[in-house]
Structure 1
Amino acid sequence: MTPPPPPAHTRIAVIGLGYVGLPLAVEFGKRYDTVGFDIAPARVAELRQGRDSTREVEPAELAAAGLAFSDQLEDIRACNVYVVTVPTPIDDARRPDLGPLIRASREIGSLLAPGDTVIYESTVYPGCTEEVCVPILEAASGLVCDARAADGAASFRCGYSPERVNPGDRQHRVADIRKVTSGSTPEAADFIDALYAGIIRAGTHRASSIRVAEAAKVIENTQRDLNIALINDLAMLFNKLGIDTQEVLEAAGTKWNFLPFRPGLVGGHCISVDPYYLTHKAQQVGHHPDVILAGRRTNDGMGAYVAHEVIRLMLRKRINPVEARILVLGLSFKENCPDLRNTRVVDIVECLRGYNARVEVHDPLADAAEARREYGLDLVAPAAGEYDAIVLAVAHDAYRTLGAAGIRAYGKPGAVLYDVKSLLPRDAVDGRL
C-alpha cells in the first residue's frame, strides 16, 4: 500500500548547503516550505544573492525554488523535518572524522520538538546513525527516538537516505536518481519514503532498516573504487608490456558485460573516502578487509606513479627535471567540476617538486583562493612556449576544446606531454595512463 503523502504543514530544514545539500534543498523547495542552513556566512550570503559557487544549481533554478537561507539556528527552529547533508571526511590517519556530523546532531537536538523527523544523508558506516547520532539527538533534546520510546513518551523520528549526487553531472540530477530511504520505525519509514517520493521522479527504494541503507551507500563507492584500482593496476602492467591500456579497454569493451572503467586519479569526497568508513567498521568487528585496503593502496599511489612516468619521459628526451618548468593542467578532483576536495592531482605536484622541478598549475574552474588555502598552490595563466613538460591531469571540456595542438603550444619544442585521462589521441602525446 502506498503511504500517504506528508502533511501540508511539513517545513524542511536542509543542514549543509554544499554539492549535496543545495540541489536537494532546491528540489524540496519546489514542493515544501524549505530553509537551507549552513554554518558558513559567506556561503549563505552568496546563495541569498542567487549565486552558487559549486555550479550545481543555475541562478534561474535557485531563484525559482523560493528557498530561505540562514546561518542562524533560531531560523530553523520552526521546522519539523531536518535533513543532514554535512560532509563526513577522513582524518590524516584515514579514520572517519565524524566531527561535522556530531556538531550538526547536537545543534539539531537543541531544536527538536516531539514528532519531528531527522534524516541523515551523509555517508557513514553501518550503524553510525543509531549508535552515534541518535544518542546525541536524545541527549540534546531530552526526547527519545521513536524506536525506543514507551507508549505516550515524547519522541522524534529518525531515518537515513544516502545521497547519490554526482558533482558536475548534468544528466543525472537529484530527482533523476532513485533514492534509497529508511526509518527508525515502520511509521517513520513510511513518512520518509513519502517525503522523498514527492520530489524524486526516478522513484524510491525503501530499505528494511537504517543499517541496510547505510551499508548500501558505502559499498556503492567502495565497489567503484575497487574497479578503478583494478584498471589502474592493469594500466601499470600494460605500460611495462608496451601495450596501450586504452586500446585494450576498447577491445575488451566489445563484450556486453565488460564494465567500462578507466584508469585515473581517485579523489574527491566520496570514492576515495567512503571505503575507509567501511574498513573502519570492519576492523572494529574483527574483520580485516584485505581487498578493499589493497584497492585503496593502489589508487592512493597513482599520483606518484604519473609523476615518475613524466620524469622518465623527460629523461629519455634528455630534459633535466631539476629546475625544469612543468605545467599541470587541472586541479579539481574530476572533470567539469570546481570541487577541490581531496584532489589527488596534488600528489603529482608534490612528487614532481620532489625532483626540484618548478611546477605550475592551471584550472579554469577551480577557485584560486581555495587552491591557495587548502593546498598552498597559486593557479597560473600559462604562457605559450614556456614549459619543459605538460601533464594533462583533468579532462575539463576547456582542454578538450584546446586540443593537442593548443596544449602543446604551452611547451617548448620537444616538451613532454603526458595525458592522464586519455583525452587526446595516442599519437599526439608522449605518454598516457
Structure 2
Amino acid sequence: MDGKICVIGLGYVGLPLAIHFDRAGHTVIGYDVDQQKIESLQRGTDPTAELRDELVEESQISYTADETAIEESEYIIVTVPTPVDDLKNPNLKFVESAGETIGQNIQEGATVILESTVYPGATREILAPAIERTSGFTVGEDFYVGYSPERMVPGDSQHGLRDVIKIVSGQNDDVLADLAALYETIVDAGVHRAPDIEAAEAAKCIENIQRDLNIALVNELAIACNNLGLDTHAVLEAAGTKWNFHDYQPGLVGGHCIPVDPFFMIYESERNGYTPQLMEQAREVNEYMPKHVAEMMLRGLNDCGKVLQDSTVLVLGLAYKPGVGDIRTSPVEDTIEKLQSYDVEVIGHDPRADAQIVRDRFGIEVQDIPSFDGVDAILLATPHEEYLDLEYTDLMHRMSENPLVIDVMGDLNGRLADSDSVDYRRV
C-alpha cells in the first residue's frame, strides 16, 4: 500500500479532516454516498459552508461515491452520523453500514479509525464485526481498528482541528503508536494516547456530559430565579466573585453533541446495571428550557397588556448556536411551537440560515431583512454577531405600544436594561 487515507463521510467532521490530511501532504480519498455532495466538492464548493471554497478547490483530494476506492487505502477514517432514536437510544446504523461497505472493499493490513461519537465498546461491538462479516477477515489479524473522537466546534475558529489535542486509541500498542504518528501530522496541539479504545469512547461522551450538567445547573437556577423575581445574571455575577466559582450562563442547548452524547453513556451504563440519574436529570432540565423561554414570553406579553392571539413575536436567530447557520436540533423550534400553541404569530429571521429550509422546518414566515414595524415582542434567541450591532433603542419606536424584548443570553442588558421604551427581560 502507498499509505493512502480514505475519509468516509464528508460532512462537518469528515471534510475538514480530509482537507487537513491533504494539506499535510497525504494522499487522500474522500468518500460519501451522497452523489450530489460529491459533485459539489468536485466543482470546488463546500456543501457544509464550514470551509472556504478555495480550500476545497485547491485540494488534491479524490472525491468519489465509488466505494471501490476504499480498497486503495491503508487508513480508513469513519466520520458518519451517530444520532439517537425517538427513545433516546443510540442509532448506529450508519456506523454498521459503513463497516459493511468497508469490509467489501478493505485490503489486508488496513487500519480503520472511527471518529463518530459512540458508547464505550461500540468500536469493537459494532464496527469491527460489520467489517468482519463482509470481508471474511479477522480483526487484529487481517485488519486493525482504532478510535479517535472528533472535537470539531462549528463556528469556532479559535478551536479548529489543529488547535485541540487529539485523543487517539488503538486495539494494541502498535496500532496506537501508528495512529498517534498519523494524527500528529495534522494536529499542532499534540496527541493524547488513551490506554484503550473504550477509554477514548467514554472520554468523548463525558466532554459534553460535563458541559450539559453545568449548563443544566445554571438553567435550573434561572428557572428558580425567574419564579422568585430575581435577576439570574446578577446572582451569577455576585457568586462569580469567588475564586473557584465556574463561569456558566443560562441558555438554550442545541447542536449535534451536547443534547445527544449523554444518551450514549446513559445507554451503555444502563445496559450494565446502573442508571446515571444526574445525567438524565440534566438532559430533562435543558430539554425544558425552550418551553421556559416561551413561557417567559407569554407572561411578558400578558404583563405588557397584549392579547396573545393578536400578538406578533419576531424571533431573531433560529440556528442552534451563534455563528452558524445549522437549524438541525435547534432548540428554538420548541420555543416557537409553544408560542404557536397559544396562537401567537411568530416571524423569524436568521442571517446565517437558509430561509427556505427554515420555513419548511419551522413552519413560520421568515424575513430576508428583519422588520420591527408593528411587532409586539422580540425574542433574541440566538445572538449572532449581526444582531449585536443593531440600534435597538431606535428600533423600539417602530414596534407596537409597550414593546417587549426577551433576551435569552443577556447580550443586550447594557443597552436595554434601563430603557423606558421597552420591557426588557433576560433568562
TM range (shorter): over 0.9
State whether residues 125 and 277 of structure 1, in contact with CA within 8 Å, keep that contact through their aligned partners in structure 2.
yes
Q: Distance in 2 between matches of 1:250 and 1:404?
A: 24
Return the letter of the residue paired with 2:373.
G
> Which residue matches 1:430?
424
Contact kept? 1:81, 1:118, Cα under 8 Å? yes
Task: Tell me by how many angstroms 1:52 deviates.
Answer: 2.2
Alignment of structure 1 residues 312-391 onto 2, 5 Å:
312-381=299-368, 382-391=370-379
Among 188, 194, 206, the alignment partner of 1:207 is 194
* 8 Å CA contact 1:353, 1:359 repeated in 2: yes
Question: For the structure 1 residues 93 and 427, does the alpha-carbon distance in structure 2 shift closer, same or farther, using more than 3 Å as the test?
Answer: farther
Q: How far apart are 1:53 and its partner, in Å?
A: 4.0
Q: Which residue is 1:244 aligned to?
A: 231
- 1:300 corresponds in structure 2 to 287
Once residues 270 and 305 of structure 1 are traced to their aligned partners in structure 2, the CA distance between those partners, rounded to angstroms, is 22
Q: Residue 418 of structure 2: SS of its match in structure 1?
A: helix
2:21 aligned to which of 28, 40, 44: 28
Q: Which residue of 2 aligns with 1:4?
A: none
Q: TM-score, normalised by structure 1?
A: 0.93
**Which of 12, 21, 31 does residue 5 from structure 2 map onto?**
12
CA distance in structure 1 between the partners assigned to 2:52 and 2:59 by the alignment: 11
Amino acid at match of 1:283: E
The separation in 1 between residues aligned to 2:154 and 2:84, in whole angstroms, is 19
In structure 2, the CA distance between the partners of 1:395 and 1:53, relative to structure 1 (3 Å rule), is farther
CA distance in 1: counterparts of 2:409 and 2:329, whole angstroms: 18
- 1:245 & 1:18 partners in 2: Cα distance? 38
The one-letter code of the counterpart of 1:404 is Y
Matched-pair contact (CA < 8 Å) for 2:209–2:279: yes
- Name the SS of the counterpart of 1:162 in structure 2: coil
**Letter aligned with residue 349 of structure 1:** I
Q: Residue 111 of structure 1: CA displacement?
A: 1.0
- 1:73-131: CA deviation from partner (whole Å, max 9, x where unpaired): 12333122111111111112211111211111111111111101100000001001101
One-letter amino acid matched to 1:157: Y
For 2:151, the equivalent position in structure 1 comes to: 164
Paired residue for 2:383?
A: 395
* Cα 1:120–1:313 shift into 2, 3 Å: same
Q: Is the 8 A contact 2:372 2:395 kept in 1?
A: no
Distance 2:228 2:92 in 1: 44
Q: What corresponds to 2:38 in structure 1?
A: 44
1:112 aligns with 2:99: no
Instruction: Provide Cα deviations, 1:386-423, integer angstroms capped at 9, x if missing partner.
Output: 31111110010011112433664663232211001111
SS in 1 for 2:178: helix
Give the distance between the partners of 2:113 and 2:76, measured in 1 at CA.
6
Structure 2: distance between partners of 1:145 and 1:386: 65
Q: Give the alignment of 1:132-211 within 5 angstroms.
A: 132-146=126-140, 149=141, 155-211=142-198
What is the rounded CA distance, in whole Å, between the counterparts of 1:247 and 1:118 in structure 2? 50
Instruction: State the SS of the aligned residue for 2:5.
Output: strand
Which one-letter code corresponds to 1:17 in the other structure? L
| Equivalenced residues, count | 419
The verdict on how the C-alpha distance between 1:120 and 1:307 changes in structure 2, with shifts beyond 3 A counting, is same
Answer yes or no: is the 8 Å Cα contact 1:403–1:424 preserved in 2.
no
Query: 2-side partners of 1:22 and 1:144: how far apart?
Result: 29
Shift of 1:43: 2.0
- Tell me the SS of whatever aligns to 1:103: helix
Q: Which one is further off, 206-215 or 354-363?
A: 354-363
CA contact (8 A) 1:399 1:407 kept: no
Counterpart residue identity of residue 112, structure 1: I
Could you tell me which amino acid in structure 2 is paired with residue 15 of structure 1? Answer: I
Give the 3 Å change call, closer, same or farther, for CA 259–53 of structure 1 in structure 2.
Answer: farther
Distance 1:132 1:347 in 2: 33
SS at match of 1:413: coil
- For 1:179 and 1:135, the matched residues in 2 are separated by 26
More deviation in 404-413 or 252-261? Answer: 404-413
In the other structure, the counterpart of 2:51 is 57
Q: CA deviation at 1:265?
A: 0.7
Higher mean alpha-carbon deviation, 86-95 vs 208-217, is at 86-95
Residue range with higher mean Cα deviation, 171-180 or 371-380: 371-380
Letter matched to residue 107 of structure 1? T
* 1:10 partner letter: G
Give the deviation of 1:216 after TM superposition: 0.5
**8 Å Cα contact 2:72/2:107 also seen in 1:** no
Code of the residue aligned with 1:224 in structure 2: it is R
Residues 44-85 of structure 1, C-alpha deviation per residue, up to 9 Å, x if partnerless? Answer: 222222222433211233334322212221233312211111
Structure 2 spans left out of the alignment, 5+ residues: none
Query: Given residue 22 of structure 1, which amino acid in structure 2 is its aligned partner?
Result: L
Percent same amino acid among aligned pairs?
40
Q: Counterpart in 2 of 1:152?
A: none
Match of 2:90 among 92, 96, 102: 96
TM-score (norm 2): 0.94
